[in-house]
Amino acid sequence: MYRHLIFLTAVLLLFDCKKNSTDFGSFEGKLIAKTDENLYLHNDLIKVSIHNGTSRTAFFGHCAERIVFLTEIEKHSDWVEDGGWGMPCLAIFPAGTREIAPFESYSDIIRCNKAGTYRLKFPFGWQQENTSDDWLFSNEFTVQ
């Protein structure tokens, strides 16, 4: 009986370690923004996550505690800005810097109410005082 308990504990630990290692396994060494699906219907809720698989902290601007972003829509093979959140942040909302530490994630829910192929564009930086030195682009997703 005792051997079965040890074996079961070892198996559970193995599966738990494997689960934790695959959470960021495909993101290791990368900063990634992605949606939970690639296809949505009009007015669906869209979950977007930013995964920091690097060894550095990434810094993003925030407005009302939400990371700021632009929405781009594909038109004639070009990406055109089509809205966003927090750029600029209205004075009635608190604004500042939001950090995503190494191997941590941030998730948010957005809604898109017109058909098209989109991507999200997040300004960010690798230093706290420069949250807009670079751009992080999400995967493309389609709203029907």
Query: What does each of the 144 residues of the chain score in pLDDT, given as a tens digit?
Result: 444 434 333 333 333 333 333 344 466 789 999 999 999 999 999 999 999 999 999 999 999 999 999 999 999 999 999 998 888 888 888 899 999 999 999 999 999 889 999 999 999 999 998 888 899 999 999 999
Query: So what's the pLDDT on residue 106?
Result: 97
| Distance from C-alpha of 3 to C-alpha of 141, rounded to nearest angstrom | 50
Query: So what's the pLDDT on residue 28?
Result: 76
Q: Is residue 13 part of a domain?
A: no
Q: Is residue 137 part of a domain?
A: yes
Query: So what's the pLDDT on residue 90?
Result: 87
> Number of structural domains, the chain?
1
Residue in this structure with the two tokens 């007015």, named with its chain if needed = 43
Q: 47: domain range?
A: 26-143
Q: Is residue 84 part of a domain?
A: yes
Query: So what's the pLDDT on residue 23?
Result: 44
Q: Check which CATH number belongs to the domain holding 69 and give it.
A: 2.60.40.1930
Q: Is residue 126 part of a domain?
A: yes
Query: So what's the pLDDT on residue 88?
Result: 83
Which amino acid appears at position 115 of this protein? A
Q: Is residue 16 part of a domain?
A: no
| Distance from C-alpha of 64 to C-alpha of 41, rounded to nearest angstrom | 27
Q: Is residue 85 part of a domain?
A: yes
Q: Is residue 1 part of a domain?
A: no
Q: Is residue 114 part of a domain?
A: yes
Instruction: Look up residue 52 and give its two tokens.
Output: 């920091």
Closest CA to 68 of 76, 78, 56, 60: 60
